[in-house]
Amino acid sequence: MERRNDAVREYRASIALDPQHAAAHTNLGVTLQEEGQLRNAMMHYRDALRAEPDFVSAHFNLANALRAAGQVDETVRHYLESVRLEPTLAAAHNNLGEIVASQGDLKGATGHFREAVRLDPGSATAHGNLGSALGAKGIFREAVDHFRDALRIDPGNEGTRRNLELALERSASGPPR
Same CATH topology for 1-86 and 110-177?
Answer: yes
**Domain covering 1-86 assigned CATH 1.25.40.10 in the classification:** yes
Find all residues with CB under 8 Å of 106, minimum gap 6, and list them: 133, 136, 137
pLDDT digits (tens, 9 = 90+) for 67-111: 999 999 999 999 999 999 999 999 999 999 999 999 999 999 999
Predicted TM-score (pTM) above 0.85: yes
Residues of the chain short of pLDDT 70, as ranges, are: 1, 174-177
Give the pLDDT of residue 177.
44
In CATH, what class is 110-177?
mainly alpha
Give the pLDDT of residue 173.
75
Give the pLDDT of residue 174.
61
Domain-wise residue ranges, the chain: 1-86, 110-177
Find all residues with CB under 8 Å of 174, minimum gap 6, and list them: none
